[in-house]
């Protein structure tokens, strides 16, 4: 019996199954490149839907001792956290001609759309808790609301002072900001800001390097993932955020479904059979969690005078 080869099999002959490993890997790479959270947060290996791990909450203490005195013992505080993954998916309607592609070719065409859709949905949930499956109070901004670590834009008269104050809020908890995240719309403000010596705080790196502000990397979020009413920029010690991807991608093709979440030019739901179209559904498992309340801070929108 010949070995199944996704490079040779037409999609109409294999309308459901696992995404070919090569294409699935490339989609994941693009997803992790487009998502700001995956670029900043710490990755946890996951081989099942739930994972328990321990992390150092506070280190051991040391003591001065006199000659001949007993050395005191100290205990490091280790905490246990459990991360649960949830299914994320996307449905993309396409023309029926796509069924004549081989499976590998089809996913080569669809890869950018899948990666973008996954990145937008994941960042929405992880950063602001928008339609989040990970539970209430888990997202970065929900932690900020709990800690109160916010500074309003233009409240200190200079973005440099506001970023400096933002970092100080996290440092008050003995943590270090190691990255910012915002949208490209905010980049103009970063680019135009100077420190007390008149030097720019923004480094527009070239050659694929990460852009920086005050020497810290910036993860840009798709504007569709951002809640502009809540924040203009987020700062964090991203070591206190974790994500994992325990399951690869699976796909299914439908020729007769009605897409209730998509509308045609007439405003009606799209019926694939009537339009002689097909729809691709891709799913995978993704996990996310935050480990503390005080490792995050936000510049909130400017308040009206």
What does the domain layout of the chain look like in residue ranges?
A: 23-60+77-251+279-300
Query: What Cα–Cα distance (Å) separates residue 30 from each residue in 64, 112, 229?
Result: 52, 7, 28
pTM of the full predicted structure? 0.85
For tokens 């233009």, the residue is 154
pLDDT digits 0-9 by tens, 210-234 = 788 999 999 999 999 999 999 999 9
The list of the chain residues with pLDDT below 70 reads: 1-2, 56-77, 205-209, 259-264, 304-305
pLDDT, residue 305, reads 47
CATH of domain 23-60+77-251+279-300: 3.90.1690
Reference 113, options 215, 47, 23, 244; nearest CA is: 23
The model's pLDDT over 164-184, given as tens digits with 9 standing for 90+, comes to 999 999 999 999 999 999 999
As to burial, measured by CB atoms within 10 angstroms (0-12 exposed, 13-18 middle, 19+ buried), residue 123 is buried
* Ramachandran quadrant class, 135 (left: phi over 0; alpha: psi -120 to 50; beta: rest): left
């Amino acid at each position: 019996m010949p070995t199944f080869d996704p490079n040779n099999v037409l999609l109409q002959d294999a309308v459901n199954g696992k995404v070919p490993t090569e294409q699935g890997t490339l989609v994941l790479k693009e997803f992790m490149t487009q998502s700001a959270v995956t670029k900043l947060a710490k990755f946890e290996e996951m081989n099942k839907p739930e994972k328990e791990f321990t992390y150092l909450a506070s280190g051991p203490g040391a003591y001065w001792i006199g000659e001949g005195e007993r050395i005191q013992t100290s205990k490091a505080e280790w905490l246990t956290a459990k991360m649960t993954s949830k299914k994320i998916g996307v449905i993309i309607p396409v023309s029926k001609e796509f069924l004549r592609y081989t499976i590998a070719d089809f996913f080569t065409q669809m890869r950018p759309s899948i990666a973008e859709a996954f990145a937008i949905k994941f960042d929405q949930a992880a950063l602001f808790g928008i339609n989040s499956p990970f539970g209430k109070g888990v997202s970065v901004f929900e932690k900020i609301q709990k800690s109160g670590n916010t500074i309003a834009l233009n409240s200190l008269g200079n973005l440099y002072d506001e970023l400096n104050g933002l970092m100080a809020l996290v440092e008050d908890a003995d943590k270090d900001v190691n990255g910012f995240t915002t949208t490209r719309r905010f980049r103009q403000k970063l680019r135009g800001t100077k420190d007390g010596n008149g030097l720019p705080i923004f480094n527009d790196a070239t050659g694929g390097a990460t852009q920086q502000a005050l020497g810290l990397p910036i993860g840009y979020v798709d504007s569709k993932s951002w809640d502009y009413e809540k924040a203009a920029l987020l700062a964090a010690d991203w070591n206190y955020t974790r994500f994992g991807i325990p399951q690869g991608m699976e796909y299914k093709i439908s020729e007769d479904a009605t897409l209730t979440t998509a509308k045609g030019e007439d405003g009606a739901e799209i019926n694939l059979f009537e339009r002689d179209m097909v729809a691709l559904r891709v799913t995978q498992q993704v996990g996310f969690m935050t480990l503390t309340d005080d490792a995050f801070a936000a510049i909130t929108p400017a308040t009206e005078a």
